[in-house]
Amino acid sequence: MENKEENTTDLNFDARIPLADLQKAVADIKQELAKVIIGQDNFIELLIVSLLVDGHVLIEGVPGVAKTITAKLFAKTLKTNFSRIQFTPDLMPSDILGTSIFNVKSSEFEFKKGPIFSNIILIDEINRAPAKTQAAMFETMEERQVTMDGTTYTMESPFMVLATQNPIEQEGTYALPEAQLDRFLFKIKVSYPETDEEILILKSHHERKGALPQTKVKDILSPTKLKTFKAQIQDIIVEEKIFKYIAEVVSKTRNHPHLYLGGSPRASIATLNSAKAFAAVNGRDFVTPEDVKKALVPVLNHRVILTPEREMEGMFTENVIKMITESVEIPR
């Protein structure tokens, strides 16, 4: 009996990848945002996970639910450059990417970079700009570069787009093309707060006494540290059964009777990357089915399309994703 106890004590359950620094940085970011943002824990965690895997985020919610302020304060916790672009119907691609201007002194054209040349870019009301302007973002979001007049300009790392849209107001808006939606890692739906959360929001606003929310939040994470954390996430262990689980769920979206369009292999890769980040954030160096399940709804939400019949019945894509997830056996 004594030997058994000795053996148990000697066992080492430490993670094979040192994730303590990553966990602390995530906790510090959450703590900073909690000074101002109340009741958006899932939203904030998804933003952090997206940052860790080089993903872009589409944030959807009615006006006044702290979409923009959360995105701005999240950017402030990072020691990087921040840029905000307000999308409007008259916005042109050159207003975002930049344009070539003739320099009289040198008698040459010089490229003046647009606001997209930053680290964290907040695009407010992305669906207000026409298709031509939205299409200008394709190359930048996917390949992290801008090609102008035959010259390619590489975006500085980290590069993350946070785009907001209002699902209610349709007048003067342009639906995002499927190709652009697919370039977002997550679609986060922000809902109204609970009553007790709203009371805390009112108290917090009252106690600030007119002070700007930005003054309450300090920067936490440097680009160098972020690069280290991203490399650690790449090393997270994934078992064969997890690959099979992700493939089965995404594959089922392609032939489900309630769906007109299913998820592509890009959706599978996005789920895998997000699951690895969820594992790391929780201090694990291996992915569990629970990590995959946490990633599925925000990853697939904007990548699958309901059939017209189900849409008319008032069904949501989340309902179908959860239905599919429940129908696939969880690996043990």
Q: What does each of the 332 residues of the chain score in pLDDT, given as a tens digit?
A: 444 444 433 434 455 888 999 999 999 999 999 989 998 899 999 999 999 999 999 999 888 888 889 999 999 999 999 999 999 999 999 999 998 888 888 878 888 999 999 999 999 999 898 888 888 888 899 899 998 888 899 999 999 999 999 887 767 688 888 888 899 999 999 989 899 999 999 998 898 888 888 788 899 999 999 999 999 999 999 999 999 999 999 999 999 999 999 999 999 999 999 999 999 999 999 999 999 999 999 999 999 999 999 989 989 999 999 999 999 999 88
Beta carbons within 8 Å of 60's beta carbon, 6+ residues apart? 164, 165, 166, 167, 187, 188, 189, 190
- The DSSP bridge pattern shows strands 151-154 and 145-148 to be antiparallel
DSSP-derived secondary structure letter, 331: P
Portions of the chain given CATH number 1.10.8.80? 236-332
- Alpha-carbon distance of 214 to 216, in angstroms, equals 5
- What token pair was written down for 5? 């106890």
* CATH pick for 236-332 out of 3.40.50.920, 3.30.470.10, 3.40.50.150, 1.10.8.80: 1.10.8.80
In words, the CATH class of domain 17-210 is: alpha beta
DSSP 255-308: S-TTEEE---HHHHHHHHHHHHHHHHHTT-SB--HHHHHHHHHHHHTTT-EE-H
Domain with CATH 3.40.50.300 in the chain: 17-210
- pLDDT at residue 13, as a whole number: 44
Cα dihedral across residues 301, 304, 309, 312: positive or negative:
positive
The CA distance from 122 to 162, in Å, is 5
**Tokens of residue 172, six digits:** 């003067």
pTM of the model: 0.89
Q: Which residues pair with 160 in a beta bridge?
A: 120
User: In which element (H, E) is residue 165 found?
Assistant: strand 160-165
Q: Which two tokens stand for residue 314?
A: 């008032």
Host H or E run for residue 178:
helix 178-181
Q: What is the DSSP letter of 214?
A: G
> Position of tokens 């040349």?
117
